[in-house]
Amino acid sequence: MTGTHGTTETAGPVPGPVPPEETEATGRADADPAAVAAVTRAVRAALPPDSVIDDHLRLRTYECDGLAHYKVIPSLVVLPETAEQVAAVVRACSEHGVPFVARGSGTGLSGGALPRADGVLIVTSRMRAVREVRREDQRAVVEPGVINLDITKATTGGGYYFAPDPSSQQICSIGGNLAENSGGAHCLKYGFTTNHVLGAEFVTPQGEIVQLGGLAPDAPGYDLLGAVVGSEGTLGVATSVTVRLVRLPEDVRTLLAGFASTDDAGAATSAIIGAGIVPAAIEMMDALAIEAAEAATHCGYPAGAGAVLVIELDGATAEVDHEFAEVERLCGEHGSFELRVAVDPAERALIWKGRKSAFAAVGRISPDYIVQDGVIPRTSLPQVLRAIADLSSSSGVRVANVFHAGDGNLHPLVLFDDAIEGAGKAAEKVSGAILDLCISSGGSITGEHGVGIDKAAYMPRMFSEDDLDTMQLVRCAFDPDNIANPGKVFPTPRLCGEVPGRHRGAHPLVEAGLAEQF
Amino acid sequence: MSAPTIDLDAARSALGSACGDVTDAGPDDAVDGVPPALVARPASTAEVAEVLRAADAAGLTVVPRGRGTKMTWGRPPERVDLVVDLSRMDAVVDHAAGDLIVEAQAGAPLAAVQETVAGAGQRFALDDPVGDSSVGGALATNLSGPGRVATGTARDLLIGVTVVRSDGVIAKAGGRVVKNVAGYDIGKLFIGSFGTLAVLTQAVFRLHPLPAARRVVTVGFDRPEEAQRLVQQVIHAQVVPGAIEVDRPAEGQGTVAVLLDGIEAGVAGRTATTLRLLGSDAREDADLPPGWGTFPWAAAAPAERQTALKATFALSGLARVLDVARTASAAAGVRLDLRGSGGAGVLYGAVSADADPGAVGSVVDRLRAECTALGGALVVLDGPPAVKAAVDTWGPVPAIDLMQRVKDRFDPERRLAPGRFVGGI
């Protein structure tokens, strides 16, 4: 069993058919040693000695992110402390055509921060200052290495918090959240990182430092920040992030409801949304996931339940009271046989403990597993869950379902034992088939984990060649030389070339007197 | 460089085979005073693609148009050969009530979308301060209103988009689910791009439940610091306001108005709290105050073209913006009415139509300096030709080089609304 560390939602090994070291996407260590040496020299001149790592043993520490199956040892690791140092590293990479990958805490689940064997890994863990808490402006300005939960810790005293709460929030960084447009259990009501990032100081792949957005909304010009958030490090590196602070709600109430089946729990979910209630979170776990969570955390979920819902409501007390009564009634009407209401923070924490530890807990019932992150329209939930059950029974591969039911974001855990010949392949096939189900129901291949290296091959199933080409126009505008985290997100890099038809001054050959233009 | 000559007859014929509805342009088709030669009214995304391919081949510059309510916003384009009018693409394509999403064509009026989703007790949380705006036009100008305090702006609501590039390629981004991080979120790039990157043809939005009840709590203020204190009290309370509007006409008292909406039981309690917060002069009302959700220049006669300003700033800068606006306009001898989302850091200003362009320029300069210092910007959205000629309407824009590079990739020949946007884009 690999890849479970505590609070992180950590994927188990994914059996890849090709050792990633040899793929186009991750580069070859021997691609251009002279260029790497030149970058190393430049970086050593610009950064303190202990910020530059090039000995093999220490480089190995950084060989993977949260998707631990993929491992690539970078040529060089740098730990800059300032935006200027990040820019100096990127400029050196740009000058010598060496790829770079930015990494925060390395908790990503799609291999977005997987290093390049021929490149530099820029680690932001020494950029951890909360520069400003501006309560009057409902904003904070933080460095990219700041831990997600630390923003909340720095602001709760003043009655505020940072809303996006990925399960890894105790260790993941805001820079990584920005790159991945991270979500979390509460994005049903509060949105994703993109809705909470208002500005960023940003180093482009040419090494320029630019300011995108800021303290005020609606910055004139193109919303480049909107394109950068969720671009998985392929457009540059954020060196400072301006985030929205959200007022803590007056009241929070959490309920656990046991159902006989996922169909019943799904129907209850639809009824709640249909009643015009927007809970802060609605999470679902099926019988297998409950079994695992129970084994791992003794969270006391209802015995014999085919599914549980964890529902949280927050807001002003009068609304929460009213909506809570509605939710209880609707759960009852849709067959909930046990309702448990958290009466204090400890009980609330226990209810969430079962849910938040579910990924890691699956290790109790299966030696290996693949985590998927597909999204479906909420109303397709019953059909898709039945189809997943059919896939599971026809293939003999067990699937545990843990997901954000409110917004249709599924996290099927496909279980297997890598020690059994062919089990990995079978699991991978089921996993892929689940993504196809998501796409055909009008959903997405990823709701919050990102495409990274893991799902790049699935992008053409969701988007046409023209769609992908259009996205890559943005990449070409930012990174014409394709050095910012190349090999991620897009299955095939677009060759950017010169901007066609753009006439700026004379053609170089004309200028050089080698040709004439008519 | 002299303007390229185009063969209008050949273009007309090529466009005619791309789309059944192509006519010569009339005086009403002018884009901020710049007359186009032709108007095409495609009926589908595929026809828009054909039209843009034909326009590209013929070397035509193109300005997209929805309901035509904001054609004078931005700078006048350098040149317009063809207006691509999307008013025939006015369908609300799909309302998936259970999934809380709606899909509409670019030419659909916001009001039509609203009407469709209201039937299921839902709302599309994008206000229309102009009135009769289309989906595409609202997106292209990043229109927003009082509700932004609670539900954000177009960038928080748009989840999927279909566009046609200047070379006629159809592209989609996002999808039909709210939670989705597959690929770049390029939908956001088109928001507020004034038609300079691509032609929007269809969009998918997330929806919100329609609130069952609402109240407005209003209170007057005289001094800018009072307005700021009132707004700060509301935002730091836990009353979950649906809007926080600040209205300050050129003369007399200003008003802070707080919208509280939701279920009846909750609204009553939050209204009581808000009344306490805002002091003994505050009063409660079931109806929205006059002028709510409209721009301050809306009161002027249509022929009277006022200068329309948009000021953005960090929330704690409200008092300074109100103060500078009044002192600068008084010094310049022009009338300046302000109204906007004080709780979001956005105020709109209307300068009287007969104001001297130089005087308007001095107000713009002083307000811009203040807003910039407060982390925001000052943009002249619209104005009389003499003002637009005399004033830097968009102002300096950070990261303009990067924006130019994006434009160069999407529209290398500068076919789409050239010159209308920031930095001459």
Judge whether B378 and B326 are in contact, CB under 8 Å: no
Total beta-carbon pairs less than 8 A apart between chain A and chain B: 283
User: Do B292 and B242 form a contact (C-beta atoms < 8 A)?
Assistant: no
Kindly state whether B68 is in contact with chain A, defined as any CB-CB distance less than 8 angstroms: no
Among chain B residues, the shortest Cα distance to A380 is held by B99
- Which helix (H) or strand (E) segment holds residue A213: the answer is strand A209-213
Tokens encoding B227: 């307005």
Question: Which of A218, A313, A435 should we substitute to test contact with B (largest number of B Cβ atoms within 10 Å)?
Answer: A218
Q: How many CB atoms lie within 10 A of CB B50?
A: 20
- The CA distance from A267 to the nearest CA of chain B, in Å, is 11
Question: Does the structure show a pLDDT above 90 at B202?
Answer: yes
A-interface mutation test, from B176, B177, B206, most A Cβ less than 10 A away: B177
* Dihedral over Cα of B202, B203, B204, B210: its sign: negative
Q: Are A296 and A413 in contact (CB under 8 A)?
A: no
Binary contact (B183, A500; C-beta < 8 A): no
Q: What is the mean pLDDT of chain B?
A: 96
User: Is B371 touching A (CB cutoff 8 A)?
Assistant: yes
| Chain B residues within 8 A of A247 when measuring between CB atoms | 235-238
Given a cut of 70, whether residue B351 has pLDDT beyond it is yes
Whole-number Å distance between alpha carbons of A259 and A337: 6
**Hey, which residues 249-268 in chain B have their CB within 8 Å of chain A?**
262-263, 265-266, 268
Pairing of β A281-286 and β B38-40: unpaired
Tokens 């700026």 belong to: A504
Sign of the Cα torsion A21, A27, A31, A33 reads negative
Q: Return the pLDDT at A512.
A: 43
Residue B319 lies in a domain: yes
Contact A444 B232 (CB under 8 A): no
Q: Number of structural domains, chain B?
A: 4
- Please compute the mean of the pLDDT values over residues B197-202 and round it to a whole number: 98
Q: What is the pLDDT along chain A (518 residues), one digit of tens a residue?
A: 333 323 333 344 444 444 444 467 899 999 999 999 999 999 999 999 999 999 999 999 999 999 988 999 999 999 999 999 999 999 999 999 999 999 999 999 999 999 999 999 999 999 999 999 999 999 999 999 999 999 999 999 999 999 999 989 999 999 999 999 999 889 999 999 999 999 999 999 999 999 999 999 999 999 999 999 999 999 999 999 999 999 999 999 999 999 999 999 999 999 999 999 999 999 999 999 999 999 888 888 998 999 999 999 999 999 999 999 999 999 999 999 999 999 899 999 999 988 888 888 888 899 999 999 999 999 999 899 999 999 999 999 999 999 999 999 999 999 999 999 999 999 999 999 999 999 999 999 999 999 999 999 999 999 999 999 999 999 999 999 999 999 999 998 888 887 654 444 444 444 444 444 33
Residues of chain A with CATH 3.30.43.10: 20-123
Dump strand ranges (E) for B222-376.
243-248, 254-262, 283-285, 307-312, 336-341, 346-351
Phi then psi for residue A374, to 5 deg, are -70, 160
Residue-level pLDDT at A322: 94
Query: Mapping DSSP to helix (H, G, I), strand (E, B) and coil, where does residue A209 land?
Result: strand
Answer whether B270 sits within 8 Å of A218, measured CB to CB. Answer: no
Question: Does residue B117 lie within any of the structural domains?
Answer: yes
> By the 8 A CB rule, do B306 and B217 touch?
no
Residues B330 and B406: their CA atoms lie apart, in Å, by: 41
* B401 falls within a domain: no
Helix %, strand %, coil % of chain A (to 5): 40, 20, 45
- B62 and B101 share a domain? no
Which B residues in the span 259-318 are in contact with A, Cβ-Cβ below 8 Å?
262-263, 265-266, 268-270, 310, 312-316
Q: What is the pLDDT, as a whole number, of residue A17?
A: 41
Strands A251-259 and A338-341: antiparallel
Instruction: Look up residue A63 and give its two tokens.
Output: 């060989």
Query: Does a structural domain hold residue B330?
Result: yes
User: Cα–Cα distance between A195 and B208 in angstroms, integer?
Assistant: 16
Same domain? B162 vs B66: no
Containing A436, the helix (H) or strand (E) segment is helix A423-440
- Three-state SS for B217? strand
**Containing structural domain, residue B307:** 296-390
Of A347, A363, A376, A361, nearest in space to A445 by CA? A376
Angle among Cα A483, A484, A485 to the nearest 5 degrees reads 105
CB contact under 8 A, A220 and B313: no
- B105 to chain A, any CB pair closer than 8 A? The answer is no
Token pair, residue A103, equals 């990494």
CA B42 vs. chain centroid, Å, equals: 24
Phi, psi of A233 (to 5 degrees): 75, 10
The verdict on B410 touching A (C-beta cutoff 8 Å) is yes
Q: Which residues in chain B have their CB less than 8 angstroms from residue A442's CB?
A: 175-177
Would you list the DSSP string of A454-497? TSGGGHHHHS-HHHHHHHHHHHHHH-TT--BSTTSS-SSPPP--
Place B151 in a pLDDT band, splitting at 50, 70 and 90: very high
CB A275 within 8 A of CB A311: no
List helix spans (H) across A198-313. 224-228, 262-274, 287-297
A212 interface with B at CB cutoff 8 Å: yes
pLDDT higher than threshold 90 for residue B89: yes
Shortest Cα distance, chain B CAs vs residue A412, angstroms: 16
**Does residue A37 sit in helix, strand or coil?**
helix
The beta-carbon neighbor of A226 closest among B178, B188, B239 is B188
Min Cα–Cα distance to chain B from A1, Å = 29
3-state secondary structure A352-402: HHHHHCHHHHHHHCCCEEEECCCECCHHHHHHHHHHHHHHHHHHCCCEEEE
Query: Does any CB of chain B come closer than 8 Å to the CB of residue A61?
Result: no
At B55, list the tokens.
Answer: 């326009």
Contacts with B, A 417-476, CB within 8 Å: 442-451, 455, 459, 462-464, 466-471, 473-476
- Taking a C-beta distance cutoff of 8 angstroms, is the pair B202, B48 a contact? no
- Decide if B409 and A499 are in contact by the 8 Å CB cutoff: yes
Sheet of strand B377-382: strand arrangement? B283-285, B213-221, B254-262, B243-248, B336-341, B346-351, B307-312, B377-382
Tell me, what's the pLDDT at B3? 57
* pLDDT reading at B221 higher than 50: yes
Residue A466: C-alpha distances to residues A113, A436, B162, B167, B414 (Å): 26, 20, 11, 12, 20
Cβ–Cβ < 8 Å for A96, A38: yes
B383 and B345 assigned to the same domain: yes
Nearest CA in chain A to B198: A470
Q: How far is B34 from chain A (nearest CA, A)?
A: 22
Instruction: Please indicate if any CB of chain B lies within 8 Å of the CB of A501.
Output: yes
The Cα–Cα gap between B116 and A36 comes to 59
CATH code of the domain containing B419: 3.30.43.10
Check residue A517 and give its pLDDT: 38
Comparing alpha-carbon positions, the chain A residue that sits nearest to B421 is A221
Closest CA to B42 of B4, B87, B103, B105: B87
Query: For the CA atoms of A289, A292, A295, A299, what is the dihedral angle to 10 degrees?
Result: -30
Residues of chain B in contact with residue A220, where contact means CB-CB under 8 angstroms, are 192, 377, 379, 394-395, 397, 422
Query: A136 with B316: CB under 8 angstroms?
Result: yes
E-strand ranges in B32-110 read 38-40, 62-65, 82-85, 92-96, 101-105
Q: What phi and psi values does residue B160 have, to the nearest 5 degrees?
A: -155, 150
Q: What are the chain A neighbours of B373 within 8 Å (beta carbons)?
A: none
How many angstroms separate the CA atoms of A143 and A174, rounded? 8
pLDDT in tens, B400-425: 999 999 999 999 999 999 999 999 99
- Give the right CATH number for A130-247 from 3.30.465.10, 3.90.226.30, 3.40.50.720, 3.30.750.24: 3.30.465.10
Written as six digits, the tokens of A95 are: 């000058």
Residue B4 has pLDDT above 70, yes or no: no
* Residue B10 token pair: 């050949």
**Beta-carbon separation of B266 and A319 below 8 A:** yes
Q: Is the pLDDT of residue B247 over 50?
A: yes
- CATH number for A20-123: choose from 3.40.50.1370, 3.10.350.10, 3.30.43.10, 3.40.50.300: 3.30.43.10
Residue B247 belongs to some domain of the structure: no
- CATH code where residue B194 lies: 3.30.465.10
Q: So what's the pLDDT on residue B300?
A: 84
Tell me which chain A residues have a C-beta less than 8 angstroms from the C-beta of B2: none
**B200 - beta bridge partners?**
B163
Confidence at residue A492, expressed as pLDDT on a 0 to 100 scale: 87
Q: What is the DSSP letter of B14?
A: H
B309 and B358, same structural domain?
yes
Same domain membership, residue B302 and residue B280? no
- Paired tokens of A188: 């049903």
| Cross-chain residue pair B180–A222, CB shorter than 8 Å | no
Reported as half-sphere exposure (CB side, CA atoms, 13 A), residue A107 has a value of 25
User: Chain A contacts of B380, Cβ < 8 Å?
Assistant: none
Distance in angstroms (rounded) separating the CA atoms of residues A331 and A284: 13
Residues of chain A within CATH 3.30.70.2190 domain(s) are: 250-362
Find the CB nearest A137 among B262, B315, B406. Answer: B315
Run of H or E including A93: helix A83-96
B377/A220 touch (CB, cutoff 8 Å), yes or no = yes
Given the structure tokens 């040149």, which residue do they identify? B79
Considering the domain delimited by A250-362, tell me its CATH architecture: 2-Layer Sandwich (3.30)
**Angle, helix A262-274 to helix A317-333, in steps of 10 degrees:** 140
Residue B31 lies in a domain: yes
Q: Shortest Cα distance from B183 to chain A (angstroms)?
A: 7
| Pair B261, B317 in one domain | no
Closest CA to A178 of A192, A157, A158, A162: A192
Distance between CA A137 and CA B9 in Å, rounded? Answer: 57
Write the pLDDT tens digit of every residue in B382-403: 999 999 999 999 999 999 999 9
Flag whether B128 is in a domain: yes
B24 and B118 share one domain: no
How far is B30 from chain A, CA to nearest CA, in Å?
Answer: 24
Contact B209 A278 (CB under 8 A): yes
